[in-house]
Amino acid sequence: MLALFHALKDSNQVFPVFIFDIQILSKLKNKKDRRIEFILRSLAEIKKTLNENGSDLIVEMGDPELLIPKLITEYKCNSLYINRDYEKYAQDRDQTISKILLNKKVTTFAFKDQVLFESDEVLTQSNNPYTVFTPYKNNHLKRLNEQGIELYNCENHKDNFAKFTSKALPTLGELGFEKTNLEDLGLPTGTSGGKSLLEKFYKNIKNYSTNRNFPSIRGVSYLSVHNRFGTLSIRHLAKLAIEADNDGASTWLSELIWRDFYFQIIANFPQVSEKKSFKSQFENLKFENDEKKFEAWKNGLTGFPIIDAAMKQINQTGYMHNRLRMIVSSFLVKDLLIDWRWGEKYFEDNLIDFDFSANNGGWQWAASTGCDSQPYFRIFNPVLQSEKFDKDGSFIKKYIPQLAPLSVKRDSSTMGIF
């Protein structure tokens, strides 16, 4: 959004472009990847809005290092506006494109957009990056209060969109993918979908600090996929949380700050992007890595109902409740003794809201190999977690209907069967 705002403010002919990066698409082995359909539906909404303003959206699939210079030449543009990315591949790609364009006397302008503060904006007193969340959060909040949050309204400059017509959006088939169950899941896409979810969540935000822990109720925002793909502004969400000024909103804001925290971790500590442990002393931990147990975990067949229901949720919907993410990751690493990277990769392949920084941070937190992670001796007990956060078994029975007729009373003889 920020790059678009400045492009519209600074120019009188703005050509919006989205490229399906073939390098990224080629790594997606599941051809029913819900993320591609979510993006395509969101792009359709953008294209429709631009069409109503006499403009259009250019959507291509291929190598951005080739396509961007080609489009710059084709549409006779003298500058490129982008929002900064923080993952290594994207940073290297964007730097390469910027150098290619510079040789053509085309300037690239990059902006902070998907975070509140970047890697070097919230530092310790000795100007080092934080590795512990609480002091980072305190400094982050202090800066938010001092600087405030500025919102950017592109509507004020919408007449500066170029008047042109582009080709139709590619189909899922043309992108090499197939239709998913996204529509059946009822997940709203695009900015309008994000706004509808936000409106429902905001009405009950005061109860968030309590309700967020119970997967069977609508206690969370379900906005993670919209944060991931930028269909809502992170600045807008943070501003709403501050304005609400209650315990639930404060808890939600803290989670948005966790998101910034993990982004600055991958920016300042490149080893995590290489799938290495944040704490180097834990890099060579020995795991049993029993593939049979891993398959049981993936398919929800461990015999622990809360684990199995959570895994069936991700497999059926591409989403998993955050409380459950902590439980299943702890179980995989500390009960099944399987390398955390195996679980991290499975989430990467299956979560619709997958974001490398948060996913890596979450898995290393659970495995006790990451920054500010839980102590190595802390292990989530799946039975106690069920009793505490799914007391009547509502969530479990939704995803394991075979258990619906059973009492919620614990029967240890049925637990942990492989």
Q: Are residues 373 and 264 in the same domain?
A: no
250 & 297 share domain: no
Q: Are residues 225 and 145 in the same domain?
A: yes
Residues 331 and 393 occupy one common structural domain: yes
What string of pLDDT tens digits covers the 418 residues of the chain? 899 999 999 999 999 999 999 999 999 999 999 999 999 999 999 999 999 999 999 999 999 999 999 999 999 999 999 999 999 999 999 999 999 999 999 999 999 999 999 999 999 999 999 999 999 999 999 999 999 999 999 999 999 999 999 999 999 999 999 999 999 999 999 999 999 999 999 999 999 999 999 999 999 999 999 999 999 999 999 999 999 999 999 999 999 999 999 999 999 999 999 999 999 999 999 999 999 999 999 999 999 999 999 999 999 999 999 999 999 999 999 999 999 999 999 999 999 999 999 999 999 999 999 998 888 889 999 999 999 999 999 999 999 999 988 876 654 433 332 2
- Could you tell me if 42 and 134 lie in one domain? no
Q: Kindly state whether residue 158 falls inside one of the protein's structural domains.
A: no
CATH number, domain of 126, equals 1.25.40.80
CA atoms of 225 and 318, how far apart (whole Å): 10
DSSP letters, 102-168, are: HHTT-EEEEE--SSSS-TTTSB-TTS-B--SHHHHHHHHHHHHHHH------GGGGGGGB-----PP
Show the DSSP H helices in 272-336 as ranges: 291-298, 305-317, 322-330
Residues 222 and 356 occupy one common structural domain: no
Both 306 and 221 in one domain: the answer is no
> Based on the domain organization, do 13 and 60 belong to the same domain?
yes
Name the domain count of the chain.
Answer: 3
Last residue of a domain, one of 52, 85, 113: 113
User: Does one domain contain both 392 and 287?
Assistant: yes
CATH number for the domain spanning 73: value is 3.40.50.620
Q: CB-based contacts of 105: which residues, under 8 Å, 6+ apart?
A: 78
For residues 201 and 194, the answer to whether their CB atoms sit within 8 Å is no
Strands 107-111 and 79-83: parallel
Domain ends where: 113, 132, 158?
113
> Residue 359's domain is classified under what CATH number?
1.10.579.10
Residue pair 385/327 in contact by the 8 Å Cβ criterion: yes
Residue 179 three-state SS: coil
Residues 366, 264 within the same domain: no
Tell me how far apart the alpha carbons of residues 325 and 363 are, in angstroms, rounded to a whole number.
9
Report residue 59: phi and psi, to 5°. Answer: -125, 120
User: Is 217 domain-assigned?
Assistant: yes
**86 shares a domain with 25:** yes
Q: Let me know: does 175 contact 21? Beta carbons within 8 Å.
A: no
Residues 6+ apart with CB under 8 A from 210: 219, 248
Q: Find, among 6, 23, 269, the residue nearest to 154 by Cα.
A: 6
In-domain check, residue 275: no
Q: Which of 268, 297, 329 is the last residue of a domain?
A: 268
CA pair distance 247, 406, nearest whole angstrom: 37
What's the Cα-to-Cα distance from 165 to each of 7, 93, 198, 403, rounded to whole Å?
19, 28, 32, 55
Q: 31 and 95, same structural domain?
A: yes
Nearest one of 341, 350, 343 to 278, comparing CA atoms: 341
Distance, in Å, from the CA atom of 173 to the CA atom of 409, rounded to the nearest integer, reads 48
